Amino acid sequence: MITLNHYLMLGGVLFVIGLFGALAKKNAIAVLMGIELMLNAVNINLAAFNRFLNPDKVVGLVFAIFVIVVAAVEVAVGLAIVINLYRQRLNTSVDEADWLKW
Amino acid sequence: MIRYAWLVPLFPALAFPVIAFITRRLRTLSALVGIGAIAASFVLSLGILWETLTSGVTMEKPVEYALSWLALPGAKDWVLKIEAGVLVDPLSAVMLLVVTLVALLVEIYSVGYMHGDPGFSVFFGYLSLFSASMLGLVLANNFFMMFFFWELVGLCSYLLIGFYFHKPEAARASLKAFVVNRVADFGFMLGFFYLFLMFKTFNFRELAEALPHAPHMGLLAVAATLIFAGPIGKSAQFPLHVWLPDAMEGPTPVSALIHAATMVAAGVYLLARAFVLFASIPEVSLLVAYVGGFTALFAATIALTQRDIKRILAYSTMSQLGYMIMAMGVGSMTAGMFHLTTHAIFKALLFLGAGSVIHALHEQDIFRMGGLAKDMKVTTATFVLGALALAGIPPLAGFWSKDEILLAAYSNGYTGLYILGTVVAFLTSFYMFRLIFVAFFGRRRAGLHGHESPKCMTVPLIILATLTVVAGFIGAPFVPHGFSSWVYFGEPHHLEPNYFVMVTSTLVAILGIYLAWLIYGKEVISAEALAQRWRSIHTVLYNKYYIDEAYLWFFRRVVLGLAEAFHWHDRHVVDGIFDGVGDTVRWSGYRLRYLHSGSLPVYALVFFAAVVVFVLWVATPVIGGIR
Amino acid sequence: MGSTLTLVAFWILFVLVVASALAVVLLRNIVHSALYLVLSFVGVAGIYILLEAEFLAAVQILVYVGAVSVLLIFGVMLTRRGNIRQSNLFNAFSLAAGVVSLALCVLIILALARTPASLPLGSWPVDTVGALAEAFLGPFVVPFEVAAILLLVGIVGAILIAREVKEDK
Amino acid sequence: MSFPLLTAILLAPVIGIILILFIPEREQLTIKITAAVATFISLVLSIYVYVAYDQAAGGLQFLEDRSWIPALGVNYSVGVDGISLPMVLLTALVIFTGVFASWDMTHRVKEFFLFLLMLVTGVFGVFISRDLFFFYLFFEVAVIPMYLLIGIWGSTRKEYAAMKLTLYLLVGSAFALIGIIALYLYAARQLGYLTFDIQTLATVQYDIAFQKFVFFLFLIGFGVLVPIWPLHLWSPDGHVAAPTAVSMLHAGVLMKLGAYGLIRVGVFFLPEGAKFWAPLIAVLCIVNVVYGAMIAMVQRDLKFVIGYSSVSHMGYVLLGIAALNTLSLSGAVTQMFAHGIMTALFFALVGNIYHKAHTREIARFGGLAHQMPRVAAGFLIGGLASLGLPGLHNFVAEFLIFLGAFTREQGLFGGLLTYRTLAILAILGIVITATYVLRVVQRTFFGPRKEAWDHLEDARGVEMVPIVVLCATLILFGLFPSLMGDLIYSGVAPLVAKIEAAGTVGGIF
């Protein structure tokens, strides 16, 4: 018997893997990939909650689609920033992007 | 006429703005406006005095009317009620006449004296403002209004002393006069605050009625003493006398009007107005008498050694004011006011005469004058007449009034003060005739030649000289229904002429004149030798007992020192604390900024670590704790 | 579809998604990571089908697999420099990141393990696409339009940021 | 509903701002004229309201009420009484003359007048608000433009002074905000509904401990603005740094916001709290008076002298508040008005001199009365007002305050000190004031003519507007104080009734 917890488990694990990727990687594009994984995990949860808890409305799916939209925009803008960064520093390492310093 | 008494100060009060804003460019017109206004007031004052004396208005039954000036009704009874009122009794009627008369003559005189001065119009404006304030002071029916005009009078004095503001000495003198008077007014104000505290009114008559029911005699004595501070300042009594000699930096007509005849007499007038208060506390009266007596002697001794013609007159004014105050203190308001009246006339005469000399010579040091009698006959004659009056030679005005004071002191049992007064009379005649013999007779020491002043200056001199001769008779002992039956406190009393007092004071005065003639006229006794002989005394007297220096030291070292200390404290301690708070914040910011390495992974890491901690904290109880 | 079959399908997809996600994170070649990312997205689409959200699955394939992945690969190409085999290294904080991630993972699993959730599958609209359409053009019409504007702004912003900076300026 | 006069007073500068926005920067004269017209409308309306106010009826008049955020109980409601009306008139007079005093401004004129009008909008708003929310809102509106005005157009360490002033005032207003919210919530619990209305809040009975605490918050919050010692240092620095018109508004009006807040919010709502803290205020205000005056005596910069004299004079206002009786509170309000006018006059004149001579160092001047007789006369009148000369309005104010404090029978420190002693010390302050004011007059304007200053021109044309208007105001109310005294009494009487109805509370000392 498949339950809500199965899906949440998948979402949770995927989220953590994505988080690790976002935190531990050096390449800014890899960081973006981690973030995409995290967003996917969230979408799984949204869809699952919708399916199990509130099946007569599709609000969860609506939200998931919004998240996808935002994710697409985020990737576009994020990559633009990465490219801009690359132009100025000739690498895409987030370690060296410390312009937020004092 | 009495119904229109409020117009008396109003005429000159209106003249001031007219001169200041409309006619300032037109000199003659300005003078005309000023003189016209004061002449109107003079005529009105004459009428008021006449009506007062003929229609049964007495000290007990004055005429009083008032408008509300400022009133706070309060919930139950009045919190404060200040009236702008007029109180006409013989005392104020006489005073009105004196003030308007002297002011009128001085303004006429000023047309000649100030001729050609760039501030000619402004001068008449100030004089008008002064006259208005002084007349307002005289007519005031309560302490508040009196204080109001008292201060305005002080302002005019400030403006007029500093009239030649380009002279640093004049600027300094005006400042000094104002500040010294402020110190005195501080006491005055406190004094009538205490009265208000006890009686809830400022009105003279209401106070007089309530006085016997005073809740606390000690407090009343404090109030009276504090009020006396006002006269000490305004009438230049020791120890707040220092401003008067310096005030001579002003134009001479100003000295005549303000610093001899009228304003300095305001203190005496205040004592007369509030006489009931002082009379009810003998201890304070005694203080008044001794302050007055001491100042009379003190100022006379300083006058012995001065060389500046106006300063000698200034010290003589101080000394005579001391007489008046002493008269108030020994319980004879009549004598004090009588002397005020006559003194106003002959001192104005003396100052205007001195002004005439200065106008001719542009010189104030008497030892650079000499032989003026040949050049300036009218001036010399009138001046000598004034000096004789001041010295107390019968039958001139000064004799009668001074005599009455000495008599009051003598008959009221103040023998010490009587002797002191007699000594002062001797000193007075000596220093006055020292001035006359040095300046008007004898050789021309500096070769300066004078010339007689124009008519508009000599005519006032002649009028005043005439009055000097006749004015004494209004209060002479043998005249029935004279001064003492108009202005009195308690019962109208009539002192019997006491020939012992009369003869002694006359002899003493003649002795003074003779001595002055010996030293300075015939020069049989060398003045230099005398000065050498009593060198230390001479130095102390010449330097006015070093009181100015002491005040200056106090101001420079103590007051300014304290001020500097406060300033340092403000800038370094108080500001230091608050700036210190700011600096601490800034410093900690500089240190804490290293926490922000700027590295994005670190930020994200910290962020999620915080999420973990937060989730642990919140979720642990929800999921059932750690099992 | 039988429940056992669903369960089997779920576990297969689970392994696929997690394994490829781990590959994305752990591999040292950024191109490989990107390819595994595609695989992972496809797996997630399968999960959506299991959840009977077919439209979402389609969107997932279209947007993630079709657009986002391609964008990412373009990004890799545009910023390629040095050895491609060493293009996706860990940074200096990987250990701390691992600890934090692991802690969060343990926390999530603990929370799930202790949550009794035996909710049955309820009724589900047959026509999810129609339901979604009604939701988007009904109560969510304003956010829908805002999302459209967001996309536009995002595109313009991306162009603006990535534009070549003229040197003479 | 009749014509919304008070809103019109408030909106006249706002309309001025909008019009100026559309005028190009280079048309400086048009900008100045627009500002002058806008403030003139405010002035005329203020005078009309002043005259039309029914003194016999008293209380709040010219009421307007509009719901704004009903959920929070916020209403746009305005009205004036005998305390706020003189302040409205004061503001209108000072800003009107202030515009003329900055007629010579050439640097970024447009922004200057924009901020100036914005500032004055805030000040008007504070004085006419009957709603605490708007009261606070306008209060903040008044503070922020000040920062820019001093920071951009100032002189002498302007950035430092602007920062200092803003920080002090914002910290103060934060305290006041806490107090206002505390009042609001406490009243909401008592009343059962939310309201910011001042009249309603005043009917609530606050318990003693609450009153003591909240009054302390107000004492700091509004005290900074007064300024009470030792929180006064922003004011001399700020005055010195600010451009002329801002100094005028700043010393003339902004400082009164503090005293007004202390009376309107502090004493009116929390009479027991006021009684508790009054002794502290009384002691501190004497420090203000004497300490401020002494420091003014040794200043070398004309503006610093006036800055410290403001500290000293506002001490009298505090003394009036501390003594808490009819006389003293009437005096305090009178002094707020009179000091505002007087100090605005001073700053206008000093600004005039500074603009022409490019220095304010007293020692470098001397004999300026030769070149600038009108300025000298104005300065002398201001100085005489400052030292409390009868015939000028300040005398009435100081007299009432002194008499009020003097007649208050209460001991402090177990009878060691009384209000009477403090009043005596305060009166001593006017002696010190006389000394420093006249010393400045003597050293600046008197003395021999100095050739170096022969190029200075006397005030004329529009420069005369501030001098004439402000001097005339001082003299008018000085000679006929009941023109304002009756009005102020109608405002103070309910306040005193409330204080007297309040329970007896021992003072802090």
Dihedrals φ, ψ of B65, to 5°? -145, 155
| Spatial separation of the C-alpha atoms in residues B179 and B158, rounded to whole Å | 10
Which of C99, C100, C102 is best to mutate for the B interface (most B CBs within 10 A)?
Answer: C100
3-class SS of residue D64: strand
Nearest chain C residue to B607, by CA: C100
Query: Distances in Å between the alpha carbon of B221 and those of B193, B214, B283, B462?
Result: 13, 11, 8, 46
pLDDT band at A44 (very low <50, low <70, confident <90, very high): very high
pLDDT band at C169 (very low <50, low <70, confident <90, very high): very low
Instruction: Tell me the pLDDT tens digit for each residue of D92-141.
Output: 999 999 888 888 888 888 888 999 899 999 999 999 998 889 999 998 88
Taking each helix axis from N to C end, the angle separating B265-273 and B309-329, rounded to the nearest 10 degrees, works out to 10
Average pLDDT of chain B?
A: 85
| D227-230 contacts at long range (C-beta below 8 A, 24 or more positions apart) | D227/D168, D227/D255, D227/D258, D227/D311, D227/D314, D228/D281, D228/D284, D228/D285, D228/D288, D228/D318, D229/D284, D229/D285, D229/D287, D229/D288, D229/D291, D229/D292, D229/D311, D229/D315, D230/B574, D230/B577, D230/D287
| Chains with at least 3 CB pairs less than 8 angstroms from chain B | A, C, D
Average pLDDT taken over every residue of chain A: 85
Take residue B388 and report the two structure tokens written for it. 């004789």
Q: Report how many Cβ contacts below 8 Å link chain B to chain C.
A: 29
pLDDT band at A100 (very low <50, low <70, confident <90, very high): low
Cβ atoms D168, D238 nearer than 8 A: no
Of B598, B605, B608, Cβ closest to residue A99: B598
Mean pLDDT of all residues in C8-24 = 92
Contacts of C83 (CB under 8 A, 6+ apart): none
DSSP, residue by residue, A20-71: HHHHHBSBHHHHHHHHHHHHHHHHHHHHHHHHHH-TTS-HHHHHHHHHHHHH
Contact across the interface for B598 and A95, Cβ inside 8 Å:
no
Mean pLDDT of B563-587: 87
CA distance A101 to chain C (A): 18
- Tell which C residues from 114 to 153 touch B, by Cβ distance under 8 Å: 114-115
β-pair partners for A27? A93
Report the gap between the CA of D292 and the closest CA in chain B (Å). 9
Average pLDDT for B207-232: 86
A100 vs C: CB within 8 A:
no
The residues, any chain, with a CB within 8 Å of residue D190's CB and separated by 6 or more, are: D204, D205
Beta carbons of A5 and C115 less than 8 Å apart: yes
pLDDT digits (tens, 9 = 90+) for D51-91: 988 888 878 888 888 888 888 888 888 888 889 999 999 99
Chain A CB contacts of C68 under 8 Å are 36, 71-72, 75
Burial D146-173 (b: 16+ CB within 10 A, else e): bbbbbbbbbeeebeebbbbbbbbbebbb
**Where do we find the tokens 């017209």?**
D37
Q: Does residue A14 have a pLDDT over 90? A: yes
Q: Residue A92: its chain C contacts at CB < 8 A?
A: 79
List the single residue in A23, A99, A102 with the smallest CB-CB distance to B608. Answer: A23
On whether the CB atoms of residues D437 and D309 are closer than 8 A, the answer is yes
Of all residues in chain B, the one with the smallest CA distance to D388 is B151
Name the E strands within D37-99.
61-69, 74-80
Q: Can you give the length of chain A in residues? A: 102
Report how far residue D65's alpha carbon sits from residue B474's, in angstroms, rounded to the nearest whole number. 75
CA distance C31 to B454: 119
Instruction: Report how far apart, in Å, the C-alpha atoms of B75 and of each of B78, B581, D23, D55, D156 are.
Output: 8, 48, 54, 16, 51
- For residue B627, what are its two tokens? 């099992």
CB contact under 8 A, B168 and D447: yes
Residues of chain B positioned with their CB less than 8 A from the CB of A19: 608
3-class secondary-structure state, position D79: strand
Tell me whether residues B600 and A101 touch, CB distance under 8 A. Answer: no
Q: State the Cα–Cα distance between residues C81 and C76, nearest whole angstrom.
A: 9
Cβ count near B523 (within 10 Å): 13
pLDDT digits (tens, 9 = 90+) for C108-167: 888 888 777 666 666 677 778 888 888 888 888 999 999 999 999 988 988 888 776 655
Nearest-angstrom CA–CA distance, B514 and B521: 9
Nearest by CB to residue D396, choosing from B68, B70, B575, is B70
Count CB atoms within 10 A of the CB of residue B290.
Answer: 18
> What's the rounded Cα separation, in Å, for the pair D459 and A102?
52
User: What confidence tens digit (pLDDT) does each residue in B329-379 have?
Assistant: 888 888 888 888 888 988 988 988 888 888 888 888 888 887 777 888 888
Note whether B598 contacts A94, CB cutoff 8 Å: no
Q: What pLDDT band is residue D276 in, cutting at 50, 70 and 90?
A: confident
Q: How far is B588 from chain A (nearest CA, A)?
A: 14
**Rounded average pLDDT over D312-337:** 90
Kindly tell me if the per-residue pLDDT of A102 is higher than 60.
no
pLDDT of amino acid B212:
82
Query: How is residue B69 written in tokens?
Result: 């000036």
CB contact under 8 A, D294 and B152: no
Q: Please name the residue that has the structure tokens 């917890």.
A: A5
In terms of pLDDT, which residue wins out, A54 or B161? B161
Average pLDDT over residues D253-271: 89
Residues in chain B closer than 8 A to D390 (CB atoms): 147-149, 151-152
- Contact of D282 with D319, CB cutoff 8 Å: yes
CA dihedral (D350, D351, D357, D363) positive or negative: positive
Q: Which two three-digit tokens encode residue D454?
A: 């022969």
Residues of chain B with C-beta less than 8 angstroms from the C-beta of D384: 155
- A84/C162 Cβ within 8 A: yes
* A2 and chain B in contact, CB less than 8 A: no
Alpha-carbon span B18 to D108, nearest angstrom? 43
Q: Is B615 on the interface with A (CB under 8 A)?
A: no
Residue B624's pLDDT is 61
Rounded CA-CA distance A74/C42 in Å is: 20
Q: From the CA of A13, how many Å to the nearest CA of chain C?
A: 6
Dump pLDDT digits (tens) for B270-281: 988 888 888 888
Helix or strand or coil: residue B164?
Answer: coil
What pLDDT score was predicted for residue D90?
92
The two beta strands, B63-72 and D74-80, are unpaired
pLDDT tens string B33-82: 999 999 999 999 999 988 888 887 888 888 888 888 888 887 777 788 88
Nearest to D407, CA basis, from B448, B194, C103: B194
Q: Does A102 lie at the interface with B, CB-CB under 8 angstroms?
A: yes
Interface touch B601/A101, C-beta < 8 Å? no
Provide the pLDDT confidence category of residue C13 given band limits of 50, 70 and 90: very high
DSSP letters, C22-64, are HHHHH-S-HHHHHHHHHHHHHHHHHHHHHTT-HHHHHHIIIII
d(CA D268, CA D499): 8
Q: Does the structure show a pLDDT above 80 at B215?
A: no
Q: Model confidence over D415-446: pLDDT tens digits?
A: 677 888 888 888 888 888 988 998 888 888 88
Q: Which CA distances in Å does B18 have to B149, B171, B391, D63?
A: 20, 26, 42, 43
In degrees rounded to 5, what are phi and psi of residue D412?
A: -120, 160
Nearest chain B residue (CA) to A16: B608
d(CA D356, CA D454): 11
Beta bridge pairs of residue D131 = D197
Contacts of C97 in chain B (CB under 8 A): 601, 605
Residues of B in contact with D500 (CB under 8 A): 75
CA B157 – CA B381 distance, rounded (Å): 30
CB contact A40 to C (< 8 Å): yes
Which chain B residue's Cα is nearest to C97? B605
Chain C nearest C-alpha distance from B603 (Å) = 11
Tell if the CB–CB gap between B624 and C114 is shorter than 8 Å: yes
Higher pLDDT, B598 or D150: D150
Cβ–Cβ under 8 Å, residues D351 and D359: no
How distant is the Cα of D492 from the closest Cα of chain B, in angstroms? 10
> Over the stretch B502-558, which tens digit does the pLDDT of each residue have?
888 888 889 988 888 888 877 777 777 888 888 888 888 788 888 888 888 888 888
> What burial letters (b/e) apply to D444-471, b meaning 16+ CB within 10 Å?
bbbbeeeeebeebebbeeebbbbbebbb
Domain C1-88 carries which CATH code?
1.20.120.1200
Chains contacting A (3 or more CB pairs within 8 Å): B, C
Q: What count of CB pairs under 8 Å joins A to C?
A: 251
| 3-state SS, residue B145 | helix
Whether residue A17 lies within 8 A of chain B, CB to CB, comes out as: no
Decide: B94 and B341 in contact? Cβ < 8 Å.
yes
Distances (CA, A) of B138 to B146, B269, C127, D241: 8, 8, 108, 48
Domains in chain A with CATH codes: 4-98 (1.10.287.3510)
Q: How far apart are CA B505 and CA B146, in angstroms?
A: 36
Question: Residues 71-90, chain A: which have Cβ within 8 Å of C?
Answer: 71-77, 79-84, 86-87, 90
Q: Which residues of B touch D294 (CB under 8 A)?
A: 559, 562-563, 566-567
Q: Model ipTM? A: 0.75
Q: Is the CB of A95 less than 8 angstroms away from the CB of B601?
A: yes
Average pLDDT over residues B107-123: 86
Highest mean pLDDT (candidates A46-60, B32-46, B486-500): B32-46
| B622: nearest CA partner in chain C | C111
In whole angstroms, give the CA distance from residue B427 to residue B7: 42
Cross-chain CB nearest to C111 (options B601, B612, B619): B619
Q: Let me know if chains B and A touch, i.e. at least 3 Cβ pairs under 8 angstroms.
A: yes
The angle at the Cα of D53, spanning D48 to D54, to the nearest 5 degrees, equals 145
Indicate if the pLDDT at residue D497 is higher than 90: no
C93 touches chain B (CB under 8 A): yes
Q: Collect all residues of chain A within an 8 Å Cβ-Cβ radius of residue B592.
A: none
CA distance C62 to D267: 70
Tell me the per-residue pLDDT of B408-430, one tens digit each, with 9 for 90 and over: 888 888 888 888 988 998 899 88
Rounded to an integer, what distance in angstroms lies between the CA atom of residue B470 and that of residue B342?
A: 10
Q: How far is B361 from chain D (nearest CA, A)?
A: 23
pLDDT at position A3: 81
> Collapsing DSSP states into helix, strand and coil, what is residue B281?
coil
List phi, psi (to 5°) of B237: -95, 155
pLDDT at residue A101 greater than cutoff 80? no
Q: D221, D169 in Cβ contact below 8 A?
A: no
B118 in contact with D, Cβ within 8 Å: no
- Asked if pLDDT for residue D374 goes beyond 80, the answer is yes
CA D371, CA D453: separation in Å to the nearest integer? 7
Q: How many Å apart are CA D40 and CA D43, to the nearest integer?
A: 5
D476 touches chain B (CB under 8 A): no
